Homo-oligomer: A and B are copies of this chain.
Amino acid sequence: MSYKVYYEDTDCLGIVYYANYLRFLERGRSEFIAAHGQSVADWNREGYLLVVRSLTIAYRRAAVLGDLLDVVSSFTLESRFRAVFHQRVERAGELIVEADVEVICLDPDQKPIMIPEAIQKLAAG
Binding site for B on A (CB under 8 A): 4, 6-8, 10-15, 17-20, 22-23, 26-27, 30, 39-42, 44, 49, 51-59, 62, 64-66, 110
Partner of A12, one of B11, B18, B39, B59: B11
Q: Which of A19, A23, A51, A65 has the most CB of B within 10 A?
A: A19
* Contact (Cβ within 8 A) A17 B7: yes
Interface of A is mostly: mixed
Given contacts A11-B10, A17-B7, A19-B19, contact A66 B53 (CB under 8 A): no
Query: A53: which B residues are within 8 A, CB to CB?
Result: 58-59
Partner of A26, one of B8, B44, B110: B8
* Contact (Cβ within 8 A) A6 B26: yes
* Contact (Cβ within 8 A) A18 B26: yes
* Contact (Cβ within 8 A) B6 A23: yes
CA distance A49 to B13 in the complex (A): 8
Query: A44: which B residues are within 8 A, CB to CB?
Result: 13, 65
**19 additional A-B residue pairs with CB within 8 Å, beyond A11-B11, A62-B110:** A4-B27, A6-B27, A7-B13, A7-B26, A7-B30, A8-B23, A8-B26, A10-B11, A12-B12, A12-B15, A12-B64, A13-B49, A18-B26, A19-B19, A39-B66, A40-B65, A41-B64, A54-B56, A54-B57
